[in-house]
Amino acid sequence: MGINSPAGQRNEEVFRYWLVTVHNFFSASQVMGHDAVFVHIAEKHYLPKAYWSDSEYVTKLKDGIAKKKPNLLGKIAPKLVMQTLSTDTVFLNKLITKAMDAQKAGYDTHYKLVMQKSTDADLKKQLADAGTATSKRNKVLQKNREKKEKNTIEKDIDANLNRDLVTRFEEIYNMIDENNTGFAATDQVKADQILIWFWEPDCSHCQKATPEIQKFYVKFNQLTYRTNLKNLETYAVYLPRGIDDWENFTNSLKHWFEFVKKHDLNVWINTWDPYGETNFRELYDIYSTPVSYLLEPDGKIIAKRIEAQSIRKVLFERWIDFLVEANNPALLDSEMTKAIKLFNTKEELEDLKTIVEIWMKDQNKEKYTKLITDAMPK
């Protein structure tokens, strides 16, 4: 029974059950592309016809639609213009030192303000007991800062501390301003495929996936592909912590600089939005990390919110598709031989084998499946 059928409309109970079931299914689905179905059902059917929904849920639903609509598959990705991070190693070392200095200064300022202004005798005793043991003293201060209910004096201490920290963080921002390579716009990136990668250096999933993607990026760009452009460019967006959580904010900055340096991410376009001017969280529906968007050269979204392995499979599929369409046996043989040498981990070769089995036919499938199997690490 269709949602617009007369029988469905007349039978209120059946109609309600049908609409709620379908709406809930697509709103919770993790299948790529189902968000477009969710948006369509919500806009065309649920909002105008689900009279039983309360105003709170309707408001929440409209907000969810607004966040999903700009970044559906097949749409041109919303334009971002982000500040870039210098890839100079010497400069990154200076930033790491500056971030560590800012954190130490923050604790020193907090300690002085508490000792000068606080009327909390127990807090002062804990600090006195900590003595010169900086780590113990800092833990006491951090616990005090995290208190949910604070009196007027404690709120004044926090306000003074935040003003001092903003000045110190501005120094870090100014260093980046003076030494960065400018700004990068997503619609100006030139490559056959563009990966927008939203991440945090302190996110455990990001810590695992980001180096994997970087290693794949280096290998994949050595293959022959459609044009003379890069096969893949990564536009990486670092998500800083809120300045009100200043210790984690500083740690996150330091870890970003360290991670870029340690994992050779300087081959990417590394960006951030220090002043919160781009509205990227709403435009790309960012509520956790990591989040990926894979784009065509013209910015059209071809895949989204997929993990590192799925990114690899999508790119393998598009590359194999190019080789099959080229219908050039010599090119196919040389490129497959190159790929089998480049992608030398078991996981990479298994993914490549899967795509070969799906996209190639007859003798080519048999030939290259065997070559990949033989190349698998024992």
Band (13; pLDDT cuts 50, 70, 90): confident
| Helix, strand, or coil (residue 124) | helix
Classify residue 353 by burial, with Cβ atoms within 10 Å: 0-12, 13-18, 19+: buried
How far does Cα 239 stand from its chain's mean position? 8
For 270-288, the pLDDT digits (tens) are 999 988 889 999 999 999 9
Which comes out higher in pLDDT, residue 378 or 266?
Answer: 266
Output the six-digit token pair for 44: 């065309």
Answer for the pair 326, 359: CB distance below 8 angstroms, yes or no: no
Encode pLDDT of 63-93 as tens digits: 999 999 999 999 999 999 998 987 777 887 8
Q: Is 191 helix (H, G, I), strand (E, B) or coil?
A: strand
pLDDT of residue 57: 93
8 vs 225, which has greater pLDDT? 225
**CB contact at 8 A, 190 and 228:** no
**Domain ranges (residues) in the chain:** 6-71, 86-179, 311-375
When the pLDDT of each residue in the chain is averaged and rounded to a whole number, the result is 89
pLDDT on residue 1: 47
For residues 22 and 13, give the distance between their C-alpha atoms in angstroms, rounded to a whole number.
14
Q: What is the pLDDT of residue 177?
A: 75
Which tens digit of pLDDT belongs to each residue from 181-193? 689 999 999 999 9
Q: Do 96 and 258 form a contact (C-beta atoms < 8 A)?
A: yes
Identity of residue 19: L
pLDDT of 127 reads 84
Query: In the beta sheet, which residues pair with residue 235?
Result: 196, 269
Q: What is the pLDDT of residues 206-225, one digit of tens each?
A: 999 999 999 999 999 999 99
